[in-house]
Amino acid sequence: MGKKSKTIAESFFRVAHPSVSSTAPIVDTHTHLASTFEAYRHKYPAGEFTTVYEFVRGLYVPAGVTEIVDVWCEGPVRPLWREFADSAVTEEQRRDLWGGMGYWFVMGVHPHEAKHYNDAVEADILEAMAHPRCVGWGEMGLDYHYDNSPRPVQQEVFARQLRCAVRLKKPLTIHTREADDDTERILKEIVPKDHKIHIHCFTDSPAFAQRLLDWFPNLYIGITGVITYSSNTDTSTTVRNMFAPETASRLRIVLETDAPFMVPAPIYTLPAFSTLDGKGKKLPLCHSGMVPWTADFVANLLPPAEGEREGWDAARVMTVARENARAVYGV
Ligand SMILES: [Zn+2]
Ligand SMILES: [Zn+2]
């Protein structure tokens, strides 16, 4: 098998968090299900799950995942979206195909792909917006870290998508990276203050997050597994600041994986992983069942509320984040 024998066994994807009971349902507010499943098939060509529905029923539902917001952000739009969305319309379909999990989606064009945005792409997105499982527009925004599309094009396409979404009153899924000033300016120019906004996978400066939270009362910060990485302290500071005495102490976050990327690091402290070594120890992809590991990390950042003896735990963070997910997306 050569190099392939290094790939970690599929069984390691069943990563139940020890402290989370079934009373804390998992809501993943941002995941790329098609690419997660494709990454899984690529890594495990002889894998147990051969369809996306089996993948969800076998891995997500037993882990306690009750809702996901799937993200389509390619330009041009991938026609596959319709198969997933159409298969989740009735309760019967969701029970039989998705194991009872609520499948929802958002659609937009990612800043990386902004150069591919045009009238035809917009028409396809507008069509998807009318689907009963569609709960928002995105991910869209600005990414000056990679600059995969020229910045003026990113800005124009971001503004154009925002105008459409605002007109349709659709919640916004925003991707912003190292573009604080332009993202803030464009959002404030176009989006009404009370609009519902999810700033997904937030990793930028805490001051930027605070300015957005202060301006938009229905804005939530999306927290992925990247908060657990030692290379990133800004996201932890952003969450802690929500509890600073001088600000409103409300946990305005939603939890997400952005799978297939960013496995939460604390997963590797599970005893099962201690039997492995070296490169074969790493999971090649992430999935929605890993949300509790991120929630647990968030809980450890938070002080007990005033007058409370009990502090935060993963289940409590997930419960609040679950309410916030409902507030933004209605899921
Ligand atoms: Zn993103
Ligand atoms: Zn994403």
Segments of the chain assigned E as strands: 26-31, 65-72, 102-107, 134-143, 172-177, 197-200, 219-223, 253-255
| pLDDT in the model for residue 310 | 74
CB 238 within 8 A of CB 206: yes
Q: Give the Cα separation of 47 and 93 in Å (integer).
A: 24
Question: CA-based angle 323:203:270, to the nearest 5?
Answer: 70
CATH number for region 26-269+280-329: 3.20.20.140
The bound ligand whose nearest atom lies closest to the alpha carbon of 110 is 1
Residue 175 Cα to ligand 1 midpoint, Å, equals: 5
pLDDT at 213: 95
- Look at residue 309 in the predicted model and tell me its pLDDT: 66
Q: Please report the pLDDT score of residue 246 as a whole number.
A: 66
- The DSSP call for residue 11 is G
CA of residue 203 to ligand 2 center, whole Å: 13
What DSSP assignment string belongs to 136-171? EEEEEEEETTT--S-HHHHHHHHHHHHHHHHHHT--
Span from the CA of 156 to the centroid of ligand 2 (angstroms): 20
Per-residue pLDDT, 2 = 43
**Angstrom distance (rounded) from CA 223 to CA 49:** 28
Burial of 269 (0-12, 13-18, 19+ CB in 10 A): exposed
Ligand nearest to the CA of 29: 2
- Residues forming beta bridges with residue 173, ordered by sequence position: 198
Distance 202 CA to ligand 1 centre (A): 9
Number of the ligand closest to the Cα of 177 = 1
Distance 79 CA to ligand 2 centre (A): 18
Give me ligand 2 centre to Cα 174, in Å: 9
CB neighbourhood size of 257 (10 A) = 30
Q: Note the helical H segments in 222-280.
A: 234-241
**What pLDDT sits at residue 277?**
74
pLDDT per position in the chain (331 positions), as tens?
A: 444 457 899 988 888 888 787 678 999 999 999 999 999 999 999 999 999 999 999 999 999 999 999 999 999 999 999 999 999 999 999 999 999 999 999 999 999 999 999 999 999 999 999 999 999 999 999 999 999 999 999 999 999 999 999 999 999 999 999 999 999 999 999 999 999 999 999 999 999 999 999 999 999 999 999 999 999 999 999 999 988 766 656 899 999 999 998 999 999 988 888 888 776 688 999 999 999 999 999 999 988 766 676 788 999 999 999 999 999 999 9
Phi-psi region of 57 (alpha: psi -120 to 50; beta: other; left: phi over 0): alpha
Q: Which ligand is nearest to the Cα of residue 261, counting in written order?
A: 2
Crossing angle of helices 151-168 and 180-190, in 10° steps, is: 30
CA of 190 to the centre of ligand 2 (A): 22
CA of 104 to the centre of ligand 2 (A): 14
Q: Can you give the pLDDT at residue 121?
A: 98
Q: What is the pLDDT of residue 3?
A: 47
Q: Please give the structure tokens belonging to residue 177.
A: 């990276």
Domain extents for the chain? 26-269+280-329
Q: Quote the longest CA-to-CA distance of the chain.
A: 59
Tens of pLDDT along 207-261? 999 999 999 999 999 999 999 999 999 999 999 998 876 665 689 999 999 999 8
How far, CA to CA in Å, does 43 sit from each of 8, 35, 136, 260, 275?
10, 12, 31, 12, 21
Say how many Å lie between the CA of residue 200 and the centre of ligand 1.
6
The per-residue pLDDT for 15 is: 82
Per the structure block, which two tokens stand in for 51?
A: 């369809």
Ligand nearest to the CA of 201: 1
